């Protein structure tokens, strides 16, 4: 499966959503996740993300491992998003920032 990581938090550009062939993305207030049971590992979304937030699970940076569980958990709670929407306000200011996990809204 593919995994959305911390870089998406407070950016949520949603370019990834438009290219997904299986609607595996689920959106929350300031983040979005991939449902591991729906993702077919096509990897098309990886290059679309301006924040470089999406990784194949086997390529996850070691400090992002907790996002495997976060994607699995929140995809069960949040609604499917199947069309791109506007990025969050200040998305460009938050792009590339680290330490955003504590800002994740559930
Ligand atoms: Fe997030 Fe990147 Fe998609 S910032 S919403 S994973 S395009």
pLDDT digits (tens, 9 = 90+) for 44-76: 999 999 999 999 999 999 999 999 999 999 999
CA angle 11, 100, 42 (to 5 degrees): 55
Task: Kindly report the backbone phi and psi dihedral angles of residue 27, in degrees, each rounded to the nearest multiple of 5, phi listed first.
Answer: -110, 140
Quote the ligand 1 centre to 16 CA distance (angstroms). 6
Of all residues in the chain, the percent with pLDDT exceeding 70 is 100
The total number of residues written for the chain in this structure: 106
What pLDDT is stored for residue 19 in this prediction? 97
Residue ranges with strand state E in the chain: 2-4, 25-27, 32-34, 54-56, 79-80
Quote the ligand 1 centre to 53 CA distance (angstroms). 6
Quote the ligand 1 centre to 38 CA distance (angstroms). 17
Q: Which residues line ligand 1 (CB under 6 A)?
A: 4, 8, 11-16, 32, 48-49, 51, 53-54
Residue of 2, 4, 50 to mutate, ligand 1, most atoms within 8 A of C-beta: 4
Of all residues in the chain, the percent with pLDDT exceeding 90 is 100
């Amino acid at each position: 499966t593919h995994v959305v990581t911390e870089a998406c938090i407070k950016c949520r550009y949603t370019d990834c959503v438009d290219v997904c062939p299986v609607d595996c993305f689920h959106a929350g207030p300031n983040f979005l996740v991939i449902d591991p049971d729906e993702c077919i590992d096509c990897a098309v979304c990886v290059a679309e993300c301006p924040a470089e937030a999406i990784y194949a699970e086997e390529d996850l940076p070691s400090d992002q491992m907790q996002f495997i569980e976060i994607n699995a958990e929140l995809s069960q709670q949040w609604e499917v998003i199947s069309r791109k929407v506007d990025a969050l306000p200040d998305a460009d200011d938050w792009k590339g920032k680290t330490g955003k996990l504590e800002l994740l809204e559930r």
